[in-house]
Structure 1
Amino acid sequence: MLLSGTLGVFVVQSGASPFNVVFFRCVFGAVFLGLYCLIRGLFKNHGFTPKKLGLAALGGVFIVFNWAFLFESYQATSISVATVVYHTQPFFVVLLGAILFRDKITAHKAGWLAVAFIGLILVAGVSSSDLRGGSTYMIGLGYALLAALFYGLSTVITKRVTGVKPHLIALVQVVLGIPLLLPFATLSESAHFGSGWAWLVGLGLIHTGVMYVLMYSAYQKLPTSKIAVLAFIYPAAAMVADWAVYGHHISWIQALGIPLIVGASLGINLGWHPRLRRTPAGYEPAAAKALRAEAPSTPAARRTNG
């Protein structure tokens, strides 16, 4: 998620069209992951079955077009607006997990998701003026929502591919992305990329090779709800990257959102939730119990407590 925060900088700095960016990201990512898997000997005893290979490929379809729609949204709206809309993805992940695979959503997990979402709104700094725009703006919002939905689908599907190294799963998905995106890419523009090639290579090596090895490994080890909350680290890192590269300062209101995101991530991962003690009259919060214990001990109080 921290690496994801620098994704927008690489996309913008490359100067390429969205579908060209995704196409070459798949090309360079496939080269990196293919060599990595070959050197590590991962092609032996790969663990793929026809069903697992099909699930990995299906997840690849969704993840590749998730990238394309997100990058299109950057151009139609702005990086900040596109990012905040795109981060409806954790809710898609949780809902899809519950609908498709009956993953349990407890009350305290839902509460932490709400806290993280409030933090996300603060970090994004979206104002009412950002919601005004023409048809291009609304199309951009639609692209961001489609990207979020496709990310959620890819997450819940890839999580079911067990017993296979995440490197191989990522390799299958980026290799599949090359023929999928070829009809949409304008390869004639590549002659004018110039220094943009360095950013495209970085997208393939860092944001596809390294990042997706880490992400897919995590998907197989974490429940859906934890993946959803950890995804909120992405916009916080993006704000820092935006400040470091473009000098866009984070306001005090935006800064207040970061602790909420971190707190929600810790809360859901550590299982923080209110502890209540049952009494003859019902539940008693732990704080109330402590205050009652510290109250002055008078005959009246003893009779009441008794």
Structure 2
Amino acid sequence: MQKQEGFRGNLEMIASMTIAGTIGWFVVMSEQSPETAVFWRCLFGATFMLLVCLYKGIFKQVKLNKPSLILLTVGGVALSLNWLFLFKSFSLSSIAIATITYHIEPFILVLLGAIFFKEHISTDKVLWLICAFLGTIFIIVGKQEGGAALTDKDTYLQGVFYAVIAASFYAIAAITAKKLKHIPPHIIVAFQLFIGIFVLLPFTPLGDISAISAVSWSFLVTIGIIHTGLMCLLLYSAIQKIPTALVGALSFIYPVVAVIVDWAAFDTRLTLLQFAGASAILIGAAGVNLNWRITKKKLKENRNELV
């Protein structure tokens, strides 16, 4: 029974990360501004999660106090701004580069934990942080190596910068979620999505709804229901069934799928330096997520040499 549950958890995690890896294509194909895409993602996603919570009777299990409401609101603002800057990054750099750069989030989370919660940063994490930082530099230089025009370079760098901002906001959202362990994740996501609606409302041209084509609507609805609602359900279900280390390992399906989709749909190919940078970021992120150790291994090797 446990094996069967673990197998199901693996499939759910793989499915959720595969869905996440395709979102860039759906955003681009919707032909909507990042503000519009995020607004409708929040609206459709919040509606879906509300129905799920009502169906499961989750609202009856929760009593929200003032501190919880403040954390939920901060998390909702951060989550919506995270999506906004990530979607902006897709069109300015590329889906592949934006998604890979976005995966510096674990390092930002570590730094925020050290600054605000005085959490200890191990030597290993510092080394993985340096690895990812060098990877980000390689990605930036990699575009310049491609010989693009100056305006293209500026746009590309802006896209990379937006991906870093997106990762920073996601880290803030993750920190607030950690402080809300007593609240079911479905409630957290539903509340944050509703906050996102109001954050993006002033920047969304609702008067132009009639100009949105049926095809664009299909992409927006899919982003809200599949890439937000269904993906969250699969992710939370998987987390309950498989070890944390396996969750961390399978999460790297997300950027791999994004790179493949970007190449297949838009013929986007990484330069040698970009590939090296992407590898450094993903290896560094894996090192942090999976607690890979560097220092102890080296100490053992040194001891063996002395013997």
Q: What TM-score results when the alignment is normalised by the length of structure 2?
A: 0.74
Work out the CA distance in 2 between the residues paired with 1:68 and 1:202: 17
Aligned partner of 1:299 in structure 2 is none
- Which runs of 5 or more structure 1 residues have no equivalent in the other structure? 221-225, 277-283, 294-306
How far off is 1:49 after superposition?
Answer: 2.5
Cα drift, residue 45 of structure 1: 1.2
TM-fit CA distance, 1:274: 3.5
Query: What is the match of residue 185 of structure 2?
Result: 166
SS at match of 2:119: coil
Report the Cα offset of residue 46 of structure 1. 1.7
Q: For 1:219-298, what aligned pairs fall within 5 Å after superposition?
A: 234-249=254-269, 263-264=283-284, 267-268=287-288, 269-275=290-296, 285-290=299-304
Superposed counterparts of 1:54-133, under 5 Å: 54-83=70-99, 85-118=101-134, 126-128=142-144, 129=147, 132-133=150-151
How far apart, in 2, do the equivalents of 1:218 and 1:164 lie? Answer: 18
Separation (CA, whole Å) in 1 of partners of 2:46 and 2:113: 28
Farther off after superposition, 166-175 or 203-212: 203-212
8 Å CA contact 1:21–1:200 kept in 2: the answer is yes
Q: CA shift at 1:271, angstroms?
A: 4.1
Question: Is 1:30 the equivalent of 2:49?
Answer: no
User: Does residue 1:20 correspond to 2:31, yes or no?
Assistant: no
Give the conservation status (yes or no) of the 8 Å contact 1:229–1:264: no
Distance 1:120 1:79, change over 3 A: same
Tell whether the 8 Å contact from 1:233 to 1:262 is kept in structure 2 after alignment: no
Relative to 1, partners in 2 of residues 1:47 and 1:153: Cα closer, same or farther, differing over 3 Å?
Answer: same
Per the alignment, residue 173 of structure 2 pairs with 154
CA contact (8 A) 1:61 1:177 kept: yes
- C-alpha distance in 2, partners of 1:115/1:267? 10
Structure 2 gaps of 5+ residues are 1-16, 241-245
Q: Alignment identity in percent? A: 37
More helix by share: 2
Distance 1:133 1:235, change over 3 A: farther
Q: CA deviation at 1:114?
A: 3.2
What is the DSSP-based 3-state SS (H/G/I as helix, E as strand, rest coil) of the residue aligned with 1:154? Answer: helix
Distance 1:39 1:213, change over 3 A: same
Paired residue for 2:199? 180
How far did residue 157 of structure 1 move? 1.8
Q: Which amino acid aligns with 1:178?
A: I
Q: Comparing both chains, which one has the higher relative contact order based on Cα–Cα distances under 8 Å and sequence gaps of 6 or more?
A: 2
Contact in 2 for aligned 1:77/1:141 (Cα 8 Å): yes
Question: What one-letter code is carried by the residue in structure 2 that aligns with 1:209?
Answer: G
Name 2:214's counterpart in structure 1: 194
Task: Measure the CA separation in 1 of the matches of 2:158 and 2:135.
Answer: 26
**How far, CA to CA, are the matches of 1:100 and 1:275 in structure 2?**
28
- CA distance in 2 between counterparts of 1:81 and 1:14 reads 20
Q: CA deviation at 1:285?
A: 4.0
Aligned to 1:302: none
CA RMSD of the aligned region, Å? 4.0
Give 1:67 shift: 1.4
Deviation at 1:244, TM superposition (A): 3.4
| Separation of aligned partners in 2, 1:26 and 1:62 | 13
Give the distance between the partners of 1:275 and 1:140, measured in 2 at CA.
Answer: 38
Q: CA deviation at 1:40?
A: 1.3
* CA distance in structure 2 between the partners assigned to 1:58 and 1:78 by the alignment: 29
Shift of 1:59: 0.5
Note the alpha carbon deviations across 1:195-224, whole angstroms, 9 max, x for none: 12221111111221133456678999xxxx
Output the CA distance in 1 between the equivalents of 2:165 and 2:281.
23
Scaled by the length of structure 1, the TM-score of the pair is 0.74
* Larger deviation, residues 126-135 vs 238-247: 126-135
Partner of 2:22, secondary structure, is: helix
